[in-house]
Structure 1
C-alpha cells in the first residue's frame, strides 16, 4: 500500500508527539538549509528529538520521505488563470518559484511519479484548463511544458551552485573568460555566435525564462488552432 493510502499510527504524545506532517516539515527544513545530502532518517529524528526507529511507524524509508517532501511543496504550486495558456504559464512560473525557494526540488522533479494529493490537485487544475483541447494532445502538451520548466530550473540551480562553489558570479566569469572569448570570436570562425554575443540584449534569468516559455506556448497554440 502506498504511503498516501496507509494510515498513520495512533499518536503517542510521550516522549514527543509525532506525525507524517511533522516529519516532512523537519526534512524540508534540513533540505532547505543544506540540500538533500542533509536528509536522513537519523538526522530527521534528531531534529524532532525522537529515536530513528519511531519514524518507521510513519514512513517505510527515505524514498517515501522524499515523495512526501515533493508533495508538500506541491501545495505551493497552484495554477490559476482563464484558459489553458494562462494556466500553463501560471503552473510553469509557480513551479519555478517553488524550486527557487526549495533548491533541492530541482533534483527530484521529473523522477518518480508524483501521486500525492497536492500533486494530483495541481495536475487536476492543469488538466481542467485543457478541457477543450483534443484529449490525445493533453499529455504531450503538459509534458512539453514540464520538460521546459525542469530543464530551465535545473540550469538556474546548477549556476547558483557553481557560484557558491567557486565564489564567482556572472560578472567574475565574464571578467575571467571574456578576453579568451573575444580573441576566439575575432578569428571569424564563429560569425553567428559573434553576432549574438556582440549585439543581443543581455537578459536576466526571469526574462530568459519568460521568452522561452512564450515560444513554447506559441507553438502549442499554433498546433491546437489547426
Structure 2
C-alpha cells in the first residue's frame, strides 16, 4: 500500500488490519506479535520466522502476509508490544521519578525478553508505544535543572540512552554466556586463574590487580541503579554555559 506522497510503503502502524475472518483461525497483528514474542523468548531471534509463527498459530504462512509483509515489520510489532509495558512506567508527576521508572522498566523488559536488548540502539523504534516512551522520557528530561535548551536535551537523551543500551546489552550478554557455557567463578579461576595471577604478579597492571583482588562481585540491579542515578545527577548539576 502506497502513501499519497509517493511510492514509499505505508508504515505498518498506519495500515488498516485485514478484515477478520472466523475460519479457520481468527488472526490479528496483536495475536501474531504475541506468538512471535513467545517464540523469541524461548528460542531467540535467530529461529524466528513467519513460517514458524504460522505453524504455531495453525495457519498457512501466506496468510500472515496479509498482516505483516516481512520480518522487519514483525520485529517492529514485537518491539512495540514490549514498549507498551514500558510506557506504563512513564506516568509520574516528577521528572526524575519518571526517568528512573522508565529506565528500570526497560531493564525489566530486557530481562524478560532478552531478544529486546539485541534490537536496542539499531533501527529506530517508531511504533506508537515506543514514541510514547520517547515522549515521556524527553518531556521529563526537559524539566531537569541542568537542561536549558534543545541542545542540552539532545545531549541528555543521548547520554541516558547510551548508558541504558550499553548496560543492558552487557548484562544480557553475560547472562547468556553463563547459561550457555556453564561459566561460574570457580570454573573461571580454575581455567584462567594461574595465567592471570602470573600476569598481575609482573606489577605492570596495578589497578587491574586491585580490581581483581579487592573488587567485589557487584549486584547487577544495584549497579544499574547506582550508575543510572549518577547519570541523572550529572544532568541535574550541569551549569548553564
Task: Give the TM-score band, short-chain normalised.
Answer: over 0.9
Structure 1 counterpart of 2:130: 119
1:26 aligns with: 35
Flag the 1:84–1:39 CA change in 2: closer, same or farther, 3 A.
Answer: same
Per-residue deviation at 1:176?
2.7
CA contact (8 A) 1:41 1:55 kept: yes
* Aligned with residue 231 of structure 2, among 206, 209, 216: 216
Partners of 2:141 and 2:156 within 8 A in 1: no
**1:73 paired residue among 62, 82, 100:** 82
Q: Of residues 65, 87, 100 in structure 2, which corresponds to 1:89?
A: 100
Q: How many residues align?
A: 226
> C-alpha distance in 2, partners of 1:4/1:208?
37
CA deviation profile, 1:5-40 (whole Å, cap 9, x unmatched):
000010011011010011001100100000001210
- Paired position in structure 2 for 1:145: 160
SS in 2 for 1:151: helix
Structure 1 runs not aligned, ≥5 long: none
**TM-score w.r.t. structure 1 length?**
0.93
Deviates more, 1:20-29 or 1:156-165: 156-165
Cα distance, 1:80 vs structure 2: 4.5
Q: What is the aligned partner in structure 2 of residue 193 from structure 1?
A: 208
1:160 maps onto 2:171 in alignment: no
Structure 2 residue ranges without an equivalent (≥5):
1-9
TM-score by length of structure 2 reads 0.87
Match among 41, 48, 51 for residue 42 of structure 1: 51
What corresponds to 1:110 in structure 2? 121
In 1, Cα distance between equivalents of 2:156 and 2:221: 22
Q: CA RMSD in A?
A: 1.7
Aligned to 1:76, the other structure's residue is in SS state helix
Which segment is superposed worse, 106-115 or 5-14? 106-115
Identify the range of structure 1 (52-61 vs 154-163) with the bigger mean alpha-carbon deviation: 154-163
- Which of 172, 192, 212 is the matching residue for 2:187? 172
Tell whether the 8 Å contact from 1:92 to 1:146 is kept in structure 2 after alignment: no
Which segment drifts farther, 71-80 or 193-202? Answer: 193-202
8 Å Cα contact 2:90/2:102 also seen in 1 = yes
Q: Deviations over 1:170-211 (max 9, x none)?
A: 442234322322222122111121122222333121222222
